[in-house]
Chains A and B, each alone.
Chain A
Amino acid sequence: MGRNTFLRLVNEAKKEGRNILYEYEVKNLLKSYAIDTTNPVFIRNKEQLESLNNINFPCVMKVVSTQIVHKSDIGGVILNIKNKEELLEAFEKIKNNTEKKGIKIEGVIVEEEVEKGLEIIIGSYKDPIFGNVIMLGSGGIYVEAYKDVSFRIVPINKRDAYEMIDETIIGSILKGFRGIKYDIFSVIDALIKVSNLIEDNQEIVELDLNPIYVYSQGIKVVDGRLKFV
């Protein structure tokens, strides 16, 4: 099932000349691997947004564009939208922010606002010598600054997943640093599932699931990027 979802998404992307999947597409792929994530709705224009029903407020709006790597850096993410009026305002704001910078956008996604958890990143990369590798680390926008990461060659087993947690500082916080316990088993489960996802779909060259929120029970992937060949 996961493989079919991937192929469907990749075919659609290829038709549009893309070699990346949009955030909402990545999230669909994650769902097909039973990895917990948010439920984004893709909106192309104002008309679609106006006719949108069944929105649970507060919600979040994020820009969708092939030209943007870090959405929040250019004002492409708006949080805590409380009603329909604010939703339409948010859309205008994102349009303005991106137009000012000359960025072409495909639309936006609207999804539920989730409770903040401990931020981690799970990612993957195709190394020319070893092939697919998987990474766990401190998530958020400062991944490269903290350099708190651990790698393994894919596929990984549970022992590898445990060791990855042991090797990172974020891992010692996950294990319960000041009495706050996080759901370490869901992290291990997610690592194994991402490892399977990468093994199944060899076309993936880069994958960032960042941030992933870890809670006392469960995890949620809040943002994701995927590049394929």
Chain B
Amino acid sequence: MSYLTLLKSLNYLFNPKSVAVIGASGTPGKIGYTILNNLLKGNFKGRVYPVNPNRSTILGKTCYKSVSEIPEQVDLAIIAVKADLVPEILAECEREGVKTAIIISAGFKEIGEEGKKREEKIAEIVKKGRIRVLGPNCLGVFDNYSGLSTLFLPDTRVEKPKPGNISFISQSGAMLAMFLDWMAKENIGVAKGISHGNRVDIDEADLIYYLAFDEETKVILIYLEGLDEGKGRRFMEACKFATFHKPIIVVKGGKTDAGSKAVASHTGAMAGSYNIYKAAFKQSNVIEAKDIQEMFDMAKALVMLPLMSENRVAIITNAGGVGVLATDALESRGFKVIELDEQTQRKLRENLPERCSVKNPVDLTGDASAEQYRIAINTVISLNYVDALYVCLLFQEPALGFEVLDYIYYAKEFGKPIISVIMGGGLAERISRIIENNGIPSYPTPERAAAALYALYQYSKIKQSYLKL
């Protein structure tokens, strides 16, 4: 399949003009009700057709007995019926020229032999090459720009994030719901979320190729448990292709190997699947996060900050202890907390009170004022040997005025990444939210900020290696 064909076919999945909800229901609480209701009262602009042979109207819309009765070309069929009815319904969709289908229904490969047979029937229909299928056993698609959402979860359980530039691919539907809810709470914008379930057709590689092209997506996140046999190489190709344009961060689930293999060689004994995934990620320029929190931390930095040219960081703090922890965290991630030159040190000493330490970290101490931060920030960030600025702010100190936030925003003009550590309780959390709304990522510990900056540096190196070709 050519790249263009792939883009076109998957575009119907995210931007359909016409959608059929097969298995639509008028009974609140049923999946077929929630999906239809969400589509009708949400931001989706396309036309929506409920399909249910036993009803004439649902939620005030004309209900159709089958897809063949819908008076126009259907771009996307959302199938939420009993598993044993799915093959027949999908076959009808295929005959009627429906472009894509999302099979929400469970009861396939994941339940054993009977389900596996059903899934094989679906695979047969897909093989004809006229319809693309997401699922079965999935939550489907969330698109913050087209307004399409096939999530059958009530708003009271899953908050919707604002439109933004992070997209998430996950086998697991629950992980997708958690992602959206978490991003909403953190006030981080989301472009798309996809749960692909049993991936009888559309898989990670397809989705990565599509998101590589998607203008709204600037960072791709993946929760990956495992790929199907023989699918590794195409996954790597897709990642190499996409990371030319945008970063990919992955969290690998299932790192421990259950059971031992029957191998006699040392290499075979050591070749646990996680060792090999790790290698594949590296070779295809994918950044690996150790857990979900780290992935979101990294995503925040990558979506907000410009890239860095090298790995030299300057730290400014009003707490010596945090400066020490920040230095440890950065250096253990391979950064250089570089010593400031004589002239700069003299300049800082002339403009700052005597109590301040003017090496790196620049420690303004507990009495630091916003004005002193302004002086330190502007002096340090303009140095040509400083590639990123790492600002620690402890607002427990009453001397520190809130106008320091403005001084940090102004420093964005220097075009270098600025990352902030704001430690503490409720106030710290509220200020973090404010500073992030202005494009400065913020973290509650020095280690988490260092991990996020590490991802930024990793991607900067990846981008540089492409440009050197």
Contacts and interface: CB of A to CB of B under 8 A. Distances in A.
Contacts of B236: 130, 153
A22 to B, nearest CB: 14
Interface in B266-287: 266-271, 273, 275-276, 278-280, 282-283
A149 interface: yes
Contact of A144 (B227, B228, B269): B269
A208 B269 CA distance: 11
B469 interface: no
B266 A121 contact: yes
B128 to A, nearest CB: 27
B272 to A, nearest CB: 9
A171 interface: no
Interface residues of A, number: 29
Contacts of B229: 128-129
Interface stretch (A36-44, A106-114, A131-139, A180-188): A131-139
A147 B233 CA distance: 26
A208 B267 CA distance: 6
Nearest to A160: B283
Contacts, number: 87
Interface of A: 69, 121, 123-125, 127-131, 133, 135, 137, 143-144, 147, 149-153, 160, 163, 206-208, 210, 225, 227
Contact of B275 (A151, A207, A208): A151
Contacts of B282: 152, 163
Given A129-B228, A129-B230, A129-B231, A207 B273 contact: no
A198 B227 CA distance: 23
Top 7 A-B residue pairs of the complex, sorted by shortest distance between their CB atoms: A123-B267, A130-B232, A151-B279, A143-B266, A129-B232, A206-B265, A125-B271
Contacts of A207: 265, 267
B273 A121 contact: no
B267 A121 contact: yes
Contact of B265 (A129, A130, A149, A227): A227
Given A123-B265, A160-B283, A206-B264, A128 B270 contact: no
Interface of B: 226-233, 236, 263-271, 273, 275-276, 278-280, 282-283
A225 B381 CA distance: 57
A73 to B, nearest CB: 13
A149 B232 contact: no
A206 B268 CA distance: 7
Given A133-B276, A133-B279, A160-B283, A206 B267 contact: yes
Contact of A125 (B226, B230, B267, B283): B267
A225 B268 CA distance: 12
Nearest to B269: A144
Contacts of B270: 123, 135, 137, 143-144, 147, 149, 151
26 contacts: A123-B267, A123-B268, A124-B267, A125-B271, A127-B276, A128-B229, A129-B230, A129-B231, A130-B233, A130-B236, A131-B232, A133-B279, A135-B271, A143-B269, A147-B270, A149-B270, A150-B279, A151-B270, A151-B276, A151-B278, A152-B282, A153-B232, A153-B236, A153-B280, A160-B283, A206-B268
A224 B280 CA distance: 26
A137 B273 CA distance: 17
Contacts of B275: 149, 151
A124 B266 CA distance: 9
A129 B269 contact: no
Contacts of B273: 127, 129
| Chain A CB within 10 Å, residue with most, of B227, B236, B275, B279 | B279
Contacts of B264: 69, 206, 225, 227
A69 B142 CA distance: 54
A130 B269 CA distance: 16
Nearest to A205: B268
Nearest to B283: A153
A207 B270 CA distance: 12
Nearest to B263: A206
B464 to A, nearest CB: 13
Contacts of B276: 127, 129-130, 133, 151, 153
B235 to A, nearest CB: 9
Nearest to A123: B267
